[in-house]
Each structure stands twice: as C-alpha cells, then as structure tokens.
Amino acid sequence: MSEIRIFKTKNGVEEIILQEAKLERQIQNLVENNMEKFFGVRFIKSEWAIDDGRMDSIGLDENNCPVIFEYKKSQNDNVINQGLFYLDWLVEHKEAFQMLVREKFGDDTCDSVDFSAPSVFCIAGDFSNYDVHAVKQIGRNIKLVKYRIHDDDIVLFEQLNAPKAAAVISQNNDGGSNSTSKYVQKTHLEKLESAPEKIRMLYREVCDYIESLDDDLSVNQLKYYVAYRKVQNVFCIEVYNSYIAIRTKLDPKKNDIIEGFTRDMTHTGHYGTGDFEIQLKNESQLEAVKDLLRKAIDEQN
C-alpha cells in the first residue's frame, strides 16, 4: 500500500519517521487504553479466551454492537481469516458476550446489545492490495486499519476500506432485546419494504447522496435503523410510512428547529445517536435536507 509521510515544518523541515511496533502487545495496549478516542468503541476485555482461540480485544460500539480487535505485527499474518472466524463464533455465542457486557456495564447495556452488525478491526503494520480486495469480496463488517507509531507520542491509523455489510441474521439471534415482548416491532428492512413507494424513493435518494459525501463512510445495517459512520456515527436513519427520520450530531441549540421538519431529540428516546432529527417527507425538502447533511458531515471532519 502507499506510504504516508509526515514532516515537521517549524524551524526547518524534518521528517517524522513512522514505524511498526516492536512487539504486537505494544499496539494492543495502546488501542485498549484509548479505544473510545481512537475508534469510538468502549473497551470490555483483553485476551478473551474461547473454545477455539483467544480474541485480542473486545468492545462495544456506539450502536451497542460487538467489536473484535485483532492485531498483527507482520503483514504476512493471516489476521483476516482469524477475525472472520471470531466474528462467526461471536454471533453463534451471543450469551457469552452478553455476560461480559453485563459484568462491565450493567443490565441496561446488556439488554440493548445489537448483534445485527458486529464488526472486526484488523490492525496491522500493513495490508496488501489482495487483502483489501478479499475483504470486499467477503462482504462482512471487517475493517482493515494500518498503523504507524513514532517515539510513543505519535500514532497514525489509516482505515483502508469502508465496508458495506448487510445485517447478520441467525436463528438464535434477534439482534435486540425485544424477543420476549408480545409486541413484535418491525425491523428497518421490514419497514422499508412496507413503506409507500414515495418514501422508498426518498430513502434511496438520501442514502446515495450521503455515500457521495465521503468515501470513508461505512454503512452499518442495524436491526431498527441504518448508521453511516466514520470513527463514530454521522447519520442514523429510520423509515416511517410518512417520513424518513435522519438523526445527526448537529447541536439542536445552534441550528433552527422548524416544526414539522427538524426536531430536538435531546430529551426524547430514540434509536441511534444524534439529537438533531431531520424529517424528510417529500421531494420538495430534498435540497434543504442535503444542506443539513453537508453541514453535519463537515462538522465531523
């Protein structure tokens, strides 16, 4: 892959030499101690031993989805296949993961764990073009992250792919906490399928536009909504019969709240993250919506 070069320009030009960690554990400790700042993931456990291996690090992302981190010092280590194996194991043994979440964060967080979009961060000194192509063909939520460090005070992370993975479905996994409820809520895909054609067309228009804004956006197809994210969520989208709700992290106090178009969700329960909600109801609102979407992503960059 191409090499990124970094220079200091104060008092002359001096190149900062970035290199791989001398030991795999060095980069693992760095990530585990700063996981939320680096990747928007809450750290749960290091070296989680399972029947057929040991996951390097595990955490919980902003959407309460499980995250596995695997580290490799050498480009030649088969970290992708290892991450894929752990991802499948996790989906089939969700109770074991929930137990760890309960111990770390309590019952409420445990009950809200969403297994519809688990992910793997493969962190290594480098990856080949073949690795990036292979992950794309696999079609799972596997993120390849190249790192470099300098004198323990500078670290560079470069995500080499932006996966667009479908929600994971399994017989023993409902992806949420409502399996014992008499009321069965429709999933995001079910609501999208049953929505009027006008709403489905607006949804496709919005998604296409969001994906055109930034090549680094990843799509997480969750059980009840879709999340477009970089390090953290940028947009969370729900579909209703009469409108599309787009939630962003724009500050409701600094942006106009227009009745019937935007809402302050700060004190209202909702799926996804972001307290500024945009309600898209018809095509005439598209340009105004796009202006807000551009503003939201500019504030995340």
Selection from 224, 263, 230 nearest residue 247 by Cα: 263
> Is 141 in the same domain as 235?
no
The residue behind tokens 């991802």 is: 87
Q: Which pLDDT score, from 0 to 100, does residue 183 have?
A: 52
> Residue 171 falls within a domain, yes or no?
no
> Is 236 in the same domain as 290?
yes
Start-to-end CA distance of the chain, whole Å, equals 24
Quote the tokens at residue 90: 């996790």
Question: pLDDT, tens digit, for every residue of 172-231?
Answer: 444 444 334 445 678 899 999 999 999 999 999 999 999 999 888 888 888 889 999 887
Question: pLDDT, tens digit, for every residue of 128-187?
Answer: 888 989 888 888 889 999 988 877 678 889 888 888 766 665 444 444 443 344 456 788
Residue 149 β-bridge partners: 19, 155
> Residue 175 falls within a domain, yes or no?
no
> Is 34 in the same domain as 152?
yes
C-beta of residue 44 within 8 angstroms of C-beta of residue 51: no
> Is 198 in the same domain as 153?
no
Total number of domains constituting the chain = 2
Helices (H), the chain: 24-33, 35-39, 79-92, 94-105, 107-111, 129-138, 188-194, 197-213, 286-300
> Residue 208 falls within a domain, yes or no?
yes
Cα–Cα dist 249/62, whole Å = 13
> Is 161 in the same domain as 15?
yes
> Residue 126 falls within a domain, yes or no?
yes
> Residue 263 falls within a domain, yes or no?
yes
List, in order, residues 6 or more apart from 26 with CB less than 8 Å away: 149
Selection from 234, 97, 223, 92 nearest residue 162 by Cα: 234
> Is 92 in the same domain as 239?
no
Cα–Cα dist 274/218, whole Å = 17
> What is the span of the domain harbouring residue 263?
188-300
Q: Which pLDDT score, from 0 to 100, does residue 171 have?
A: 41
Q: What are phi and psi of 264, to 5 degrees?
A: -90, 110
